Structure 1
Amino acid sequence: MTLGFAINTAAGILAIASAAAFGTAFFVFTKARYTSIAQISDQIDLVLHNADHLYIGESDEGELSILHSEITKMTLRIREQNDALKKEKEHLADSLADIAHQLRTPLTSVNLILSLLENSPDENDRKAFVRETEKLLVQMDWLLTSLLKLSRLDAGIVVFQSGQTDVNALVCAALRPFLIPMELHDIDLQIDVPKGMIIQGDSGWLSEAIQNILKNCIESAGENGRIEIVCKDNPLFTEIAIHDSGPGFDKEDLPCLFDRFYRGKNPNATGYGIGLSLCRMIITRQGGTITAKNHPQGGANFAIRFPK
């Protein structure tokens, strides 16, 4: 009887001691986990309120290590998004400054012409001033329209209607607005477009892109110039090449031709640096590519390619 009690007492003491040890270990372990979680929480708070703080201390524990890994990914993603937003704001500010500058030049000219028009008694001079004002207003209208198109493309609200487009019809549609100006400036036009050539894309926007290239080429070719449009088809791609007889590009300008608002190193360069940028956006977002280089025979050469 005594032996049994002694055994039961020892077992009871052992059970109590085991429970106490387990409870102590559980308390210490739980406290350590809560301390680690509190530290991670404090570090997350730093991340949220301090964009420069990205470090979250590592944890050796399994579950907390996984949590640490996921939070680290989140902080890096937040940093990337913050950097992207910062760049977008800077780009927007720069773009607004460029737009204001682009509009200020023709507006200043219009104000000056209107002042001269008011004080000029000569009828011929007044007609010349009116024609020049009309020309500037057309330029401003083109500028604003192009900027609106660029903003729509930047915002991603343009939905291209992809379909089979006949290249010959596309080139003819793009040329239509320029036929009279080319005739007035005695610009020779050569077209070589095989019948039945098809590309995949939005014909309206592609026509817009080609018109911007043609506008650039017509200005470069000048009086009695020449423009050549040659289309080629092979198993890999379809190409639309436009070549003018102008002076071509300066070597240092070639890498930046399609950059927005880039007008070249020449201080006397005309244009706004928008047309070619808009052209590239339209073409690349429909799966095509566009390149520009100096033609071996002189002048500029633009090549638009659409893969099969």
Structure 2
Amino acid sequence: MLRNSEFKKFSILFSLMAVTTVTLGFAINMAAGILAIASVTAFGVAFFAFTKARYESIAQISNQIDLVLHNDDHLYIGESDEGELSILHSEITKMTLCIREQNDALKKEKEHLADSLADIAHQLRTPLTSANIILSLLSNNPDENQRKALVRETEELFVQMDWLITSLLKLSRLDAGIVVFQSEQIDVNNLICNSLRPFLIPIELHNTALQIDVSKGMIIQGDSGWLSEAIQNILKNCIESAGDSGKIEIVCEDNPLFTEIAIHDSGAGFEKEDLPYLFDRFYRGKNSEATGYGIGLALCKIIITRQGGTITAKNHQQGGAIFVIRFPK
């Protein structure tokens, strides 16, 4: 309290006024002087006690703020009956709660980042280990045909790693919020055709039957490039699930509420316990033989939901899996 320059100035001013008042009181008569001393003393004691109490409250608040700055988890600022201090208490309590929530959010983000980095390292380590083994076999294998087969297998692993790294970069850009989606009118038929183009050769090689039912003139609003990326991830999953001589069916419907794109494959469908986690990143299912990295569907969901759409996945009543994308009108 005595460190406050304003309090020092007031104390000096009060002392001068007290001396002047007492002097004038005694100049009048003895009783006036004694009354002046009593009044000055009472006022001084009351003011000092009141000011000390206020400074103690302020010091308590200062200590609590210091605890906040040092990330104390057991923070409490008590209520105050005083007007201005009560308002100050209330505002600082709001601030501390806000800071605590932000700290909790940051801790969760750090934990999520650590888990994601561990998952990414694991995903990258798998093809790298396989490539290492193949290179060892390649260096010690004199058979020309086997060497060519091993080289092709290595090339496939590098293609997988390239896709994995590209997808992870896209996920990180979306998470960071630096992707700006364009809003344009998209013809659904063109969107489906563009999404299918990279898979036409694999579909032919695997003898996959493809059935498309899209009405002309169906329009949705969004970013055609990113939506094509999302649909390609679904198609990739469906083609792998359908296998040789399988079937892929794409049906688009339009109504006054939404536009729907449904993609159905003739594969084995999903395990019941996997259904709630299909769009979680790095989730590969309970089946230990599951292929993929658990990134495609997570990326797909982020792209669609960030543009106002929804996506669900379930087992089709006629067998296989079905993905349903909806864009509200």
Fold-level similarity (TM above 0.5): yes
**Partner residue of 1:234 out of 255, 268, 284:** 255
Give me the whole-angstrom Cα distance separating, in 1, the residues matched to 2:189 and 2:33.
Answer: 99
Give me the whole-angstrom Cα distance separating, in 2, the residues matched to 1:173 and 1:8.
Answer: 107
Match of 2:68 in 1: 47
**Partner residue of 1:74 out of 81, 86, 95:** 95
2:318 is paired with a residue of what secondary structure? coil
Q: 1:24 offset after TM fit, Å? A: 3.1
Is it true that 1:221 corresponds to 2:237 in the alignment?
no
Q: 1:10 offset after TM fit, Å? A: 6.8
**Partner residue of 2:80 out of 43, 53, 59:** 59
Match of 1:4 in 2: none
2:211 is paired with a residue of what secondary structure? strand
Q: 1:20 offset after TM fit, Å? A: 4.4
Give me the whole-angstrom Cα distance separating, in 1, the residues matched to 2:322 and 2:69.
Answer: 51
Give me the whole-angstrom Cα distance separating, in 1, the residues matched to 2:36 and 2:276.
Answer: 81
Structure 1 stretches lacking a partner, 5+ long: 1-6
Confirm or deny: 8 A CA contact 1:40 1:57 kept in the other structure.
Answer: no
Give me the whole-angstrom Cα distance separating, in 2, the residues matched to 1:51 and 1:250.
Answer: 45
Of 50-59 and 254-263, more deviation after overlay is shown by 50-59
Identity across the alignment (%):
85
**Partner residue of 1:150 out of 146, 171, 186:** 171
Match of 1:249 in 2: 270
Give me the whole-angstrom Cα distance separating, in 2, the residues matched to 1:242 and 1:162.
Answer: 24
Q: Deviations over 1:199-236 (max 9, x none)?
A: 11111000000000000000000000000011111111
Q: 1:60 offset after TM fit, Å? A: 1.5
Give me the whole-angstrom Cα distance separating, in 2, the residues matched to 1:274 and 1:244.
Answer: 19
Match of 1:3 in 2: none
Match of 2:23 in 1: none
Of 53-62 and 87-96, more deviation after overlay is shown by 53-62
Confirm or deny: 8 A CA contact 1:59 1:68 kept in the other structure.
Answer: yes
1:45 is paired with a residue of what secondary structure? helix
Give me the whole-angstrom Cα distance separating, in 1, the residues matched to 2:221 and 2:36.
Answer: 81
2:259 is paired with a residue of what secondary structure? strand
**Partner residue of 1:91 out of 112, 128, 136:** 112
Match of 2:137 in 1: 116
Q: 1:8 offset after TM fit, Å? A: 8.9
Amino acid of the structure 2 residue aligned with 1:125: Q
Q: Deviations over 1:40-77 (max 9, x none)?
A: 11121122224312211221111111111111111111
Q: 1:22 offset after TM fit, Å? A: 3.5
Is it true that 1:305 corresponds to 2:317 in the alignment?
no
Amino acid of the structure 2 residue aligned with 1:293: K
Q: 1:14 offset after TM fit, Å? A: 5.7
Give me the whole-angstrom Cα distance separating, in 2, the residues matched to 1:158 and 1:50.
Answer: 33
Give me the whole-angstrom Cα distance separating, in 1, the residues matched to 2:171 and 2:228.
Answer: 15
Amino acid of the structure 2 residue aligned with 1:295: H
Q: Deviations over 1:141-200 (max 9, x none)?
A: 100000000011111111111111111111111110000000000000101111111111
Give me the whole-angstrom Cα distance separating, in 2, the residues matched to 1:261 and 1:50.
Answer: 32
Confirm or deny: 8 A CA contact 1:293 1:300 kept in the other structure.
Answer: yes
Amino acid of the structure 1 residue aligned with 2:137: L
Match of 1:211 in 2: 232
The correspondence of residues 139-288 of structure 1 with structure 2, limited to 5 A, is 139-288=160-309
Give me the whole-angstrom Cα distance separating, in 2, the residues matched to 1:283 and 1:136.
Answer: 29
Match of 1:293 in 2: 314
Going from structure 1 to structure 2, the CA distance change for 1:8 and 1:169 (only over 3 Å counts) comes to: farther
Of 170-179 and 14-23, more deviation after overlay is shown by 14-23
Amino acid of the structure 1 residue aligned with 2:74: H
Give me the whole-angstrom Cα distance separating, in 2, the residues matched to 1:266 and 1:116.
Answer: 29
Structure 2 stretches lacking a partner, 5+ long: 1-27
Q: 1:27 offset after TM fit, Å? A: 2.4
Is it true that 1:135 corresponds to 2:172 in the alignment?
no
Alignment: residue pair count: 303
Confirm or deny: 8 A CA contact 1:54 1:76 kept in the other structure.
Answer: no
CA RMSD of aligned residues (A): 1.8
